[in-house]
């Protein structure tokens, strides 16, 4: 790697530091792994280095250009992983939710696993229009993200989500998983 | 069951369902289209239905979505900056137009500070009345009426912008006459009109 005093390196590092931090910040809400961002940023670094040979060109690079480069790098990363049958999931560092990661007892862990499986089955049985919205919400995305993904207005997204969650709770209750079943 | 507990259980369930093979998974380009909000209707439903029930696709979606969100926020910020810049330009333009209009109106009403603008006398009205636009900061006006040969017929000083020529001043009937006004400003500077002509009855 070139010396950071080099204007090309300085401009590139400044750009990538800013961009990487923004992606990490945006990804935190989605439970994004920092390692994925690092890998993409490293790839973007190489691509920008090759494409924009001067510090001035890097400093002038529009946000849309950096975005296209990052998107392309991310897609390539996903393709490479799929090609190598990698999941990107590391059991050593990618731990589940704290409440589920350290259950008080083995019985509780087993109960959680069974209930989680039933929750998944109950979600599978929801009507199609509500199911995708409920899945997205359960997967950790908020109402704004749901609106963006489906192009729904807020009232429509809210309506689908609330009705879907109400259906889900009704199904869980019918399966014997009510509020009293899970403290 | 509270929302967070429900979410945690669902995420545990899809983690346990994580596929060993990705053959049934969405292509990365499809995930990107979903992350960029380019899918609609059943396409979006089907894509999200899988992406949010497959731990691997959900992770990949999170990465693509985080990158897309940075771009969206950047674009939104750019749009806001553009709108702000446009608002400033419009506001400045409006101020310039307003000020120009006001200055022009004021100049029309008061006259500019660079010259005294004479108004044509009403023909046939007796007594003869000479009028001109006021000049900013004028402390007095000196008026001179002359015959066609340039000989002074009447001179007067006034603070007003109208001068009624006494009937004792005899104007040659049907002859051309000349007049002009000099404004003396508060700072001692003088501003003159051009020499105007009118024909008496």
Cα nearest neighbour of A75 on chain B = B28
Per-residue model confidence as pLDDT tens digits over B28-59 = 999 999 999 999 999 999 999 999 999 999 99
Rounded to a whole number of angstroms, the distance between the first and last alpha carbons of chain A is: 55
Among A67-81, A156-170, B4-18, B116-130, the least confident range: B116-130
Q: Please state the ipTM of this predicted complex.
A: 0.82
Rounded to a whole number of angstroms, the distance between the first and last alpha carbons of chain B is: 105
pLDDT over 70 percentage in chain A: 83
**What confidence tier does A165 reach under pLDDT thresholds 50, 70, 90?**
very high
CA distance A163 to A38: 39
Residue-level length of chain A: 183
The pLDDT mean for chain B works out to: 86
Helix (H, G, I), strand (E, B) or coil at B169: coil
CA distance B170 to B149: 15
In this structure, are residues B127 and B165 in contact, taking their beta carbons and an 8 Å threshold?
Answer: yes
What is the average per-residue pLDDT within B94-98?
Answer: 83
Q: Hey, which residues 54-83 in chain B have their CB within 8 Å of chain A?
A: 55-56, 58-71, 73-75, 78
In sign, the C-alpha dihedral spanning B133, B135, B140, B145 is negative
When comparing pLDDT for B40 and A15, which is higher? B40
Residue B179 neighbours by CB under 8 Å, 6+ apart: B118, B130, B143, B144, B145, B146, B195, B196, B198
Residue A164 neighbours by CB under 8 Å, 6+ apart: A126, A130, A131, A133, A134
Per-residue model confidence as pLDDT tens digits over A131-150 = 999 999 999 999 999 999 99
What is the average per-residue pLDDT within A57-72?
Answer: 83
- Nearest CA to B71 out of A29, A148, A72, A19 is that of A19
Q: Which residue of B7, B32, B37 is in closest CB contact with A148?
A: B37
Say yes or no for a CB contact (<8 Å) between B10 and A150.
Answer: no
> Is B131's Cβ below 8 Å from some Cβ in A?
no
Return the axis-axis angle of helices A7-28 and B55-110, rounded to nearest 10°: 110
Q: What is the pTM of this model?
A: 0.63
Cα nearest neighbour of A70 on chain B = B67
CA distance B196 to B201: 17
**Domains detected in chain B:** 3-80 (no CATH), 118-199 (2.60.40.10)
In this structure, are residues A146 and A133 in contact, taking their beta carbons and an 8 Å threshold?
Answer: yes
Residue A180 has pLDDT above 70, yes or no: no
Helix (H, G, I), strand (E, B) or coil at B184: strand
In this structure, are residues B135 and B112 in contact, taking their beta carbons and an 8 Å threshold?
Answer: yes
Q: Say if strands B138-146 and B129-132 run parallel, antiparallel, or are unpaired.
A: unpaired
What is the average per-residue pLDDT within A29-37?
Answer: 83
**pLDDT at residue A103, rounded to an integer:** 52
**Domains detected in chain A:** 7-83 (no CATH), 98-174 (1.10.10.10)
Query: What residues pair up with B130 in beta bridges, in sequence order?
Result: B163
**pLDDT at residue A88, rounded to an integer:** 54
Residues of A in contact with B12 (CB under 8 A): 96-97, 100, 112-113, 116
* Angle ∠(A47,A49,A54) on CA atoms, nearest 5: 140
Residue A111 has pLDDT above 80, yes or no: no
A37: how many CB neighbours lie within 10 A of its CB? 24
Say yes or no for a CB contact (<8 Å) between B10 and A116.
Answer: yes
Residue B114 has pLDDT above 90, yes or no: no
Q: Hey, which residues 68-127 in chain A have their CB within 8 Å of chain B?
A: 70-71, 74-75, 77-79, 82, 85, 87-89, 96-97, 99-100, 112-113, 115-117, 119-120, 123-124
pLDDT over 90 percentage in chain B: 38
Cα nearest neighbour of A149 on chain B = B37
Cα nearest neighbour of A116 on chain B = B9
């Amino acid at each position: 790697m070139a010396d950071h005093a080099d204007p090309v390196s300085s401009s590139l590092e400044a750009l990538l530091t800013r961009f990487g931090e923004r992606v990490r910040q945006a990804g935190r809400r989605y439970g994004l792994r920092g390692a994925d961002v690092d890998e993409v940023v490293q790839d973007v670094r190489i691509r920008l280095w090759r494409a924009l040979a001067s510090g001035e060109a890097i400093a002038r690079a529009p946000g849309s250009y950096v975005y296209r480069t990052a998107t392309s790098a991310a897609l390539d990363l996903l393709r490479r992983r799929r090609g190598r049958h990698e999941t990107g999931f590391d059991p050593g560092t990618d731990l589940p939710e704290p409440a589920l990661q350290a259950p008080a007892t083995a019985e509780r862990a087993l109960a959680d696993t069974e209930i989680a499986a039933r929750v998944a089955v109950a979600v599978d049985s929801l009507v199609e229009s509500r199911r995708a919205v409920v899945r997205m919400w359960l997967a950790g995305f908020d109402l704004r993200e749901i609106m963006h993904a489906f192009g729904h207005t807020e009232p429509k997204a809210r309506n689908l989500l609330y009705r879907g969650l109400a259906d889900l709770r009704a199904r869980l209750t019918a399966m014997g998983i009510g509020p009293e079943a899970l403290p | 069951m509270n929302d967070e507990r429900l979410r945690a259980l669902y995420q545990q369930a899809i983690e346990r369902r994580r596929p060993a093979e990705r053959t049934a998974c969405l292509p990365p380009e499809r995930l990107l289209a979903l992350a960029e909000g380019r899918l609609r209707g059943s396409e979006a439903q089907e894509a999200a239905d899988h992406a949010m029930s497959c731990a691997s696709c959900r992770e990949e979606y999170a990465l693509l979505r985080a990158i897309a969100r940075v771009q969206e926020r950047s674009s939104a910020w750019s749009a806001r900056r553009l709108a702000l810049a446009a608002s400033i330009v419009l506001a400045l333009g409006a101020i310039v137009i307003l000020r120009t209009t006001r200055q022009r109106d004021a100049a029309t009403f008061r006259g500019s500070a660079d010259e005294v603008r004479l108004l044509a006398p009403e023909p046939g009205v007796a007594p003869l009345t000479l009028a001109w636009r006021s000049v900013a900061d004028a402390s007095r006006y000196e008026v001179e009426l002359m015959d066609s040969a340039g000989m002074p017929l009447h001179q007067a000083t006034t603070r007003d912008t109208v001068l009624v020529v006494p009937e004792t001043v005899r104007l040659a009937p049907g002859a051309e006459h000349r007049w002009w006004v000099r404004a003396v400003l508060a700072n001692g500077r003088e501003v003159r009109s051009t020499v105007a002509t009118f024909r008496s009855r």
